[in-house]
Amino acid sequence: MSKKITKNSTLKEILGIEGTDKILAKYQTPCLSCPMASMEVEKLQIGQVAEMYGLDLKGILEDINKISK
């Protein structure tokens, strides 16, 4: 079983799961195309990103955890 993704999971952890790029795109996560984020992907936590951009953190986590099982 895969590790559960939480608000403290980094973008690097999340992007290591097949299909999560589509989920993040669905929620219009700007970090996927941001050149600055690519330098901080190991440190940026999904909870921080969601808070900064007003994203639906609960929805993102639910969708990612569905496919990461």
Is residue 31 assigned to a domain? yes
Asked if residue 2 belongs to a domain, the reply is no
In the block, which residue shows the tokens 């992007």?
Answer: 15
Residue 37 inside a domain? The answer is yes
Q: What domain count does the chain have?
A: 1
Tens digit of each residue's pLDDT, the chain (69 residues): 467 999 999 998 998 899 998 999 999 988 777 777 777 878 889 999 999 999 999 999 999 999 987
pLDDT attached to residue 68: 84
What domain range is 20 assigned to? 11-67
Give the dihedral sign, CA 30/49/16/65: negative
pTM score: 0.86
- The confidence score (pLDDT) of residue 2 equals 64
Q: What is the pLDDT of residue 60?
A: 97
Interatomic CA distance for residues 39 and 31, integer angstroms: 11
